[in-house]
Amino acid sequence: MRKEEKAEFYYLVNEIIKHQEFQKRKEYLHHEDNLYNHCYQVAKITFLISRKLKLDYKKATIGALLHDFYYEDWQKNKKRKSFLKLHGFVHAKEAKENAQYYFPSYVDKKVSNIIERHMFPLTLKPPLYLESWLVCFVDKCVSITIFKNPRKLPKYIGLKELKKNGKNNSRRCHRSWHRRD
C-alpha cells in the first residue's frame, strides 16, 4: 500500500477501529487469529481492490470492516442451538444490527447489504451490489486458512458442540468430512 493509500485507508477506518466496542474484537478468536485482525485484513484488501475497480471503495471498506461485528464471541457460547441458528447462519444479521447500533452514521443501505450478505450462499439471498460481492469474496479468501487444519473445521462451523445422547460427536463429524462416497 502506498503512503497516500495508507493515509486514506486509516482515515476511513480510524473512528471505528478506535471505538472500545470494536477493540473488544481483539479478544474474539477467529480463523486462528482474532476477529479484529480478520476484519482489518478484509477491509484493507477490499479497500485496495475496490479502488482499483473504481467501485464505492469507502462503503466497501466500511462494510468489510464491520462484516463480522457480531455481539459476542460465539466460540465461548456453549448453548445448544439448532443447525440454522449456528454462527455461520446468523452472525451476519447480528453484525448488521450491531453496526447500526454503534455506527449508525456509517451504515446505509449498501453497507447493510455488504454486512448482511457476506456469508452468501449461507444467506440464501445473494448480495445486491458489486461491493457486497467483493466483500463476500475477499472474506472467503482471507478465511481459507481454516482449511490448513481440517480437524478444526467442524468446530469452526459449529458442529463440534452438537451432542447426541449426552455425548460429544465431534469425532463423528470430523470423520464425515473425510468420507469418500
In contact, 9 and 61? CB cutoff 8 Å: yes
Helix axes 130-143, 57-66, angle to 10 degrees: 40
Mean pLDDT of 25-32: 74
Alpha carbon separation from 128 to 24, 108, 136 (Å, rounded): 30, 13, 11
pLDDT tier at 15 (50, 70, 90 boundaries)? Answer: very high
**Burial zone of 73 (CB within 10 Å; 0-12 exposed, 13-18 middle, 19+ buried):** middle
**Burial zone of 14 (CB within 10 Å; 0-12 exposed, 13-18 middle, 19+ buried):** exposed
Domains of the chain in sequence order: 3-147 (1.10.3210.10), 149-181 (no CATH)
pLDDT tier at 118 (50, 70, 90 boundaries)? Answer: confident
Write down the residue that cell numbers 453497507 correspond to. 111
- Give CA–CA dist 171/168, Å, rounded: 8
Write down the residue that cell numbers 502506498 correspond to. 2
The one-character DSSP state at 126 is P
Kindly give the pairing relationship between strand 163-164 and strand 167-168.
antiparallel
Count of beta carbons in the 10 Å neighbourhood of residue 81 = 15
Write down the residue that cell numbers 469452526 correspond to. 156
Lowest mean pLDDT among 20-34, 119-133, 143-157: 143-157
Kindly give the pairing relationship between strand 33-34 and strand 167-168.
unpaired
In contact, 170 and 154? CB cutoff 8 Å: yes
The model's pTM is: 0.77
Q: What is the pLDDT of residues 43-86, one digit of tens each?
A: 999 999 999 999 999 999 999 999 988 755 545 555 665 544 55
Q: What percent of the chain has pLDDT over 90?
A: 50
